[in-house]
Structure 1
Amino acid sequence: MTRFAVDRLVFVPDDVDLSRSPLAGHLDVETYVLGAFNPGLTRLPSGNLLMVVRIAEALREPVRDGHVHAIRWDDGNFVLDAWPLEFADTADPRKFLLRGGGWKIMALTSLSWLLPVELSPDGLEVVAVHYDRAIAPAASFQCYGVEDARISRVEGRYLMTTCSVSPERHSTTLYSSEDGLDWRFEDIVLDHQNKDMLIFEGLVGGQYWAQTRPLGDLYFAYPPGSEWRPGPSINLATSPDARHWKPHREPGIRPHSATVATARMGGGSPPILTDKGWLTLWHGVEPKEIVGIYRTYWSLLDRDDPARVIRTQDAPLLEANPELTRPIEQQMYVHDVVFTTGIADHGDHYIVASGEADLACRITHIPKTMFD
């Protein structure tokens, strides 16, 4: 694994004040921060950086009285739902599966909301935590939470995609801002189970472009001997206004049959334009136990035709770093996970933001020469 001179955790669960959480005062039970992770990243007009951090707020005792409990938003309040334990598979600490429905049904062990955290220009010091600008569920299609912000700045406007989770749909929702701090809800922009939507930081041919990642339980086989592996891949879409999206005909980045390290993949940081093309950081998942091993990879896409991959690197750019999480290892519930979610230019290097172990926010300074 490549070691970088600047690579550290900058925001961890103990940095969150749950007395200022959107859930505070709604539940007569104890909650805690399961994770403060997967931060969207952008640079503010002041020069400071902004992370929009996913806060997974969980019940301290989800299992009691023969039931497993989940938090749900309900018309401006937060309530608890109880499911009989004999119908639930709780092997994964992040969620539980409900048996007997005829297809896969799950509920979450936490509810996620988004917390803007302002950093110094180098991303290494917390300047302010903006609880007054937290983004919480506000509609039935977000009743199980708002997750995994990704922020792009296009034509002077900030655009933030998020995943909104509910029984109605697992949708991608869009927020916009003029200053990067005050966010306005725009709309649902992608429907059921389309995750990791990343809007390119710039127009291509006068259009907005985005990477998407549709999910499903069925994938069709490539022909025998194909260089590609069937499964989740990074697709592309275009839009005239960033709200109405059309899938692009050509595929984007696909898992390669020669390796299992990227058997499952999805977007990471919003693609940014360099003098060599669009730089995109993405995650590959190697199957292992329940969660798998998450690593960060990179590719360069053609500036005029982002469906064309100019160059990619088979070796991972980032891997989980146990030394970073050692001081908080008593709070860890998964391992081998780094999930990159943001990138910002900082002179001769990029500042890369990631979620580490679904637990904390990691900032890494990566020299631009890594992508030559």
Structure 2
Amino acid sequence: MTHALDALVFGPGDVDLSRSPLAGKIDGETYVLGAFNPGMTRLADGNLLLMVRVAEALRDPRRDGHVHAVRWDEGGYALDPWPLSAVDTADPRKFLVAGSGWRVMALTSLSWLLPVELDPEGRRVEAVHYDRAIAPTRSYQCYGVEDARISRVGGRYLMTTCSVSPERHCTTLYTSDDALDWTLDGIVLDHQNKDMLVFEGLIGGEYWAQTRPLGDLYFAYPPGSEWRSGPSINLARSPDGRHWRPHDRPGIRPHAATDATARMGGGAPPILTDAGWLTLWHGVEPSGIVGKYRTYWSILDRDDPSVTLRTEHKPLLEANPALTEPLADRMYVEDVVFTTGIADAGDHYVVASGEADLACRITHIPKEAFA
């Protein structure tokens, strides 16, 4: 499918680290590992706002026989040394700590959120709001604040983020009246429940959300089932957007007929169309360390989002190597597009994605693509 616009609009070279929340607070040189996975919403003046995840990493995390993790500490930031002999550093974004009997990791980067304002079509950057950046402020965020998703419900903006720490890997909620000044409301989903997307509208007077709990154990569907066991998209409901209860019926599940969506999770917050709730989600095909990430879509019933009316097994978006070719020297993963936002623009949608865990991609997709 061809698109009127399909381009990278913001990347690691566009971040001014002298204005980073970490500037002058770390004993070591840092660089931008990626500026990606942007939550997106439309501001009152019509401009688009990207809440960009900036992964700020140590230039040289290995020294003196140790690899160092970046961690927020009350009043500043710390570098924690881990003996190289005790860790696995195959993935440049993190390292695995041996000897626990289960997977334990730490990060060589720390993520914070940078508001980047675009024109109404998402073609150019109008402003970068460093003064409104969101960085860790609580112990449950000490390894970073990641992957914002923004929904506007009843004139109020709700932003979910993933907060990372040894305490828990949780979903946190920020709220705002203008999408620029945010208030942290705290934890709304506990350990390893990622990709929480709040529907852009109430259903039966309640808030609804897609969630994606993770784990190391999944029970098998019976032989011959159309479904595959593994990470899937679940649903939750709330009277106020803060207190959530899982919905009894499942949401979108991996299909047994394809490996391309063997693992899945939410992408852009669902928006209401004439046909029902349009939801963009990611499917992951097992491959190498990270896997191949693609974007897919489904239409959900407007009154019961656990009912899928239509879905498309052909990907809507795939990684585009031509976009990242000018950034080839910065690449550390391939075959990854991770959609995180959608905005109505008349006869088309503006779709925001993270490309290669590196930069922010904007794509115009005609509405007829979902007919």
Same fold (TM > 0.5): yes
Query: 5 Å matches for 1:1-372?
Result: 2-372=1-371
Shift of 1:93: 1.4
| Local SS of the residue matching 2:354 | strand
Displacement after TM superposition at 1:101 (Å): 1.2
Consecutive unaligned residues in structure 2, runs of 5 or more:
none
Moved over 2 A (4+): none
* Cα shift at 1:95: 1.0
Instruction: Give the whole-Å Cα distance in 1 for the aligned partners of 2:251 and 2:31.
Output: 39
SS at match of 1:324: helix
CA distance in 2, matches of 1:197, 1:104: 23
CA distance in 2, matches of 1:148, 1:364: 18
Deviations along 1:174-222, whole A, 9 cap, x unmatched?
Answer: 0000011000111100000000000000000000000000000000000
Q: Which residue identity lines up with residue 222 of structure 2 in the other structure?
A: P
**1:76 Cα deviation from its structure 2 partner:** 2.0
Q: Supply the distance in 1 between the matched residues of 2:244 and 2:27 (Cα, whole angstroms).
A: 42
State the Cα distance separating 1:145 from its structure 2 match: 0.1
Letter in 2 for 1:144: Y
Instruction: Give the share of equivalent positions with the same residue, in percent.
Output: 77
Mapped to 2, the partners of 1:299 and 1:231 lie a distance apart of 19
Superposed CA deviations along residues 62-81 of structure 1, whole A, max 9, x for unmatched, are 11110000100011201100
**SS where residue 272 of structure 1 aligns?**
strand
Give the letter aligned to residue 181 of structure 2.
D
Give distance in 2, aligned partners of 1:215 and 1:28: 34
Q: Partners in 1 of 2:169 and 2:38 — Cα distance?
A: 19
Give distance in 1, aligned partners of 2:104 and 2:28: 25
Whichever residue aligns with residue 316 of structure 1, its letter is P
Amino acid in structure 2 at the alignment position of 1:35: G
Letter of the 2:148 counterpart: A
Structure 1 Cα separation of the partners of residues 71 and 116 of structure 2: 25
CA RMSD of aligned residues (A): 0.5
Question: Which AA in structure 1 matches 2:194?
Answer: K
> What is the DSSP-based 3-state SS (H/G/I as helix, E as strand, rest coil) of the residue aligned with 1:315?
strand
Q: CA deviation at 1:28?
A: 2.1
Distance 2:2 2:213 in 1: 33
Three-state SS of the structure 2 residue aligned to 1:261 is coil
Give me the whole-angstrom Cα distance separating, in 1, the residues matched to 2:233 and 2:167: 24
Listed one character per residue, the Cα deviations across residues 32-75 of structure 1 (whole Å, up to 9, x for unaligned) are 00000000000000110000000000000011110000100011
In the aligned structure 2, how far is the partner of 1:236 from the partner of 1:76?
A: 37
Code of the residue aligned with 1:229 in structure 2: it is R
Q: How far, CA to CA, are the matches of 1:258 and 1:95 in structure 2?
A: 33
Deviation at 1:315, TM superposition (A): 0.1
Write the distance in 2 (CA, Å) between the matches of 1:67 and 1:222. 44
The alignment partner of 2:251 has SS state of: coil
Q: CA deviation at 1:264?
A: 0.2
CA displacement 1:142-201 (0-9 Å, x = unmatched): 000000000000000000000000000000000000011000111100000000000000
Whole-angstrom CA distance in 1 between matches of 2:232 and 2:324: 29
Letter in 2 for 1:275: D
CA drift at 1:5 = 2.5
Cα distance, 1:109 vs structure 2: 1.6
Instruction: Give the number of equivalent residue pairs.
Output: 371
Q: More displaced, 97-106 or 343-352? A: 97-106
Please give the alpha-carbon distance, in whole angstroms, between the structure 2 residues aligned to 1:196 and 1:308: 20
What is the DSSP-based 3-state SS (H/G/I as helix, E as strand, rest coil) of the residue aligned with 2:323? helix
Deviation for aligned residue 1:303:
0.2
